[in-house]
Amino acid sequence: MCGIFGRVQAKGVLRDGGLACRQTDTMRHRGPDGSGYLGINLSTGAHFSATRPHEFKSAQGCLSHGWDVFLGHRRLAILDLSPQAGQPMGDAQRRFWLTFNGEIYNFLELKRELASLGVKFHTRSDSEVLLMAFAKWGPECLARLRGMFAFGVVDVQERTLYLARDPIGKKPLYYRATDTEFQFASELKAIIADPATPREIDPVALSQYMIYGYIPSPRTIYRGIGKLPPGHFASIDLNRPGEVRMQRYWQMPTASDSCGKDWFEEFEAEFAEAVRLRLISDVPLGAFASGGLDSTLVVRHMQRVSGKPVKTFAIGFAQGGVNELPYARQVSRQFHTEHTEEIVRPDTLTLLPRLVSHFDEPFGDSSAIPTWLVSEAARRHVTVALTGDGGDELFAGYPRYHNAYRVQRLLNAMPHSLQPRLLAALAKIWPHSLRGKAFLKRAALQNGNVYRAIVSRETNLALLHQDIRRALVDSQEVHAFFDDCWRQDFQHPISRMQFTDLNTYLSEDILVKADRASMAASLELRCPFLDHRVVELAARMPLNLKYHGGDQKYLIKRILRPELGPAFVYRKKNGFQSPLRSWFQGYLSHFVRKCLSAAPSPLAGLCDETGVRSLVQRFYAGQSDLCEDVWRLLVLAEWRRKVHDRGGT
């Protein structure tokens, strides 16, 4: 995996090669194995490149007109470890230049096709195959790619920059466009490392963080900086860098196919191929094995393909939380893996500043902690790890699907106009000591949309400072990304929940967490469930193969039951979560109270201080379902201190 950066500057703008190199190097953790810096002068056609910043600045001085386009790259070497496979990479004619983050899993197939058309290759890398595919087919090559990617390609002849992001959104791509320049990067930190970049907080984005726990594309926490959405590509005229033309090239199917076929056989074949392709590597690889169904299915197929024991990794917490390690050991015994597990005692007070520094903008999913820790444990042994991410969304695995469906059926038995009043009345009399009070309040505010009430925290808007709330000209903007998915037509409510999660929670939360936490450890994660062909196949399957009479992940359970037994496949699902409640009520209690109840508050100007103190008091008075809200506030406070107030350094 890698970190990419690019900068286009219009004529008359001062060119600072040193700054561009420093911006690239803010992502050293994404690519510790090497670096590359490239400058292109569009007027003369000249280019100059280097592998060290001081060499690039020296080369830049040789050209009197400087550069119009800069491309930077930090390399984590996975395929073809030779220097010849480094980036930025150009074709033989020096018309196309590429900086690329990701893996093209079907690169060998594409390479054979391109070679039959007369294309010559000089490396064994998938990067060169991607470059040649783009040179041959342009953006139409995206339909041929099977992989995870974010990349930028400069067409010197047409004076155009192309950006693209993989269909599901496994690899990130940020950008900032003005009338005089355009910048893009794998991480936000590279863009805000430019002192000239304004850091004005977007009130809609901050509201989305408080309500959903993440900031969905195309927004970021800062006005004027965006994210390229998954499944999109963009083109930028290098003469007019402020004009970004964006287009979707992939959309998940929304209609299932109920015609008779052997879905089990078809899925097994497609999934096996997705796993096989993800085992192509020139460095050691393994798998996360939490003991859950999804990672277990991945390990099962890995062991079938591998000629030696698969390396598997799992972690457990010393206090609080659910211990899944016995199930991970059962998987290891069944498939004869080389298993490593660790009992971790994380110092959250030390880990929190590191987390916010790597995520760059507020990110409220506390499962980033175990993901980070298992990534660090795996990186001591391997450079690549396969995961089971995506299985819950594809096969209706989240308990909230079943719960929302049952509650919605009860509400549908009464007139719609009465639903909000009934929910509000229930919330009023519901004891603080029982879980669910906050949910009932949210459901009442959502006019009975039970699922949005489950995945959002509408009441958290009241925690924002009045100036932030006043700046929300249209509060519907906050929910637009969710509602656009929810409005899709489906025959069954659970199918609508799956589609919405795949296009919101998965791409904007789960995959952001996986990318940042693994890249912080310089570990590449690969997700067979999120191969776009596997996603398309699962979307076409009848719902009863995913949700069968209340039995969730029906197809996966049927596959694994013969080998692991009913006690394994039918046990209660436990998420990959941090034991926040025990931490907050134990050794972090003093820190939480001091941080969030202090006067003046570290959240001054962002949040209503009285509202924050009230939430903390209610949490410690026994309203336990406010745990995630407390975590979001802690993250926001630390982000402000560590990133925003320090200019992103």
Q: Rounded to whole angstroms, how far apart are CA atoms 565 and 430?
A: 40
Burial of 511 (0-12, 13-18, 19+ CB in 10 A): buried
pLDDT above 70: residue 63: no
Are residues 310 and 371 in contact, defined by beta-carbon separation less than 8 angstroms? Answer: no
pLDDT above 50: residue 649: no
Q: Which two tokens stand for residue 123?
A: 């490396």
pLDDT for the residue 435:
66
The arrangement of strands across the sheet holding 338-344 comes to 338-344, 311-317, 285-288, 384-386, 524-526
pLDDT above 50: residue 132: yes
Tokens 């805000």, residue? Answer: 192
Q: How far lies 48's CA from each of 11, 16, 62, 80, 253, in Å?
A: 18, 14, 9, 23, 45
pLDDT for the residue 421:
79
pLDDT grade for 168, boundaries at 50, 70 and 90: very high
Total-model pTM: 0.94
- Encode pLDDT of 69-89 as tens digits: 999 999 999 988 888 889 999
pLDDT above 70: residue 344: yes
pLDDT for the residue 12:
60
pLDDT for the residue 56:
85
pLDDT above 80: residue 503: yes
Residue partners of 261: CB distance under 8 A and separation at least 6? none
pLDDT for the residue 87:
94
Q: How far lies 192's CA from each of 20, 50, 203, 224, 610, in Å?
A: 12, 24, 18, 11, 32
Instruction: Identify which has the larger pLDDT, 9 or 274.
Output: 274
Mean pLDDT of the chain: 90
The domains of the chain, with CATH numbers, are: 2-248 (3.60.20.10), 263-396+504-569 (3.40.50.620)
pLDDT grade for 90, boundaries at 50, 70 and 90: very high
DSSP 320-345: SS---HHHHHHHHHHHT-EEEEEEE-
The sign of the CA dihedral 67, 69, 75, 80 is: negative
pLDDT for the residue 96:
97
Burial of 51 (0-12, 13-18, 19+ CB in 10 A): middle
Q: Which among 125-134, 467-476, 489-498 has the top mean pLDDT?
A: 125-134
Q: Rounded to whole angstroms, how far apart are CA atoms 39 and 50?
A: 9
Q: Is 216 helix (H, G, I), strand (E, B) or coil?
A: coil
Nearest CA-CA partner of 75 in 104, 99, 49, 105: 99
Among left, alpha and beta (phi > 0; psi -120 to 50; other), residue 363 is beta
- DSSP-derived secondary structure letter, 152: E
Kindly state the average pLDDT of the residues 253-257.
78
Helix locations, 68-168, DSSP H: 107-116, 126-137
Torsion (CA) 407, 409, 411, 414 in degrees, nearest 10: -160
- For residue 612, how far is the Cα from the chain centroid? 28
The arrangement of strands across the sheet holding 47-50 comes to 47-50, 34-40, 69-75, 2-9, 181-185, 174-177, 225-227
Name which of 50-64, 202-216, 284-298, 607-621 the model is least confident about. 50-64
pLDDT for the residue 237:
95
Residue partners of 303: CB distance under 8 A and separation at least 6? 309, 310, 335, 336, 337
Q: What are phi and psi of 311, to 5 degrees?
A: -85, 125
Name which of 96-110, 153-167, 265-279, 462-476 the model is least confident about. 462-476
Q: Rounded to whole angstroms, how far apart are CA atoms 234 and 277?
A: 28
Q: Which two tokens stand for residue 240?
A: 């007019």
- Encode pLDDT of 504-524 as tens digits: 999 999 999 999 999 999 999
Count of helices and strands (H, E) across the chain: 27, 20
pLDDT above 60: residue 641: yes
pLDDT for the residue 359:
97
Nearest CA-CA partner of 70 in 108, 36, 39: 39
pLDDT for the residue 440:
73
Kindly state the average pLDDT of the residues 153-159.
96
Q: Rounded to whole angstroms, how far apart are CA atoms 355 and 368?
A: 8
pLDDT for the residue 588:
86
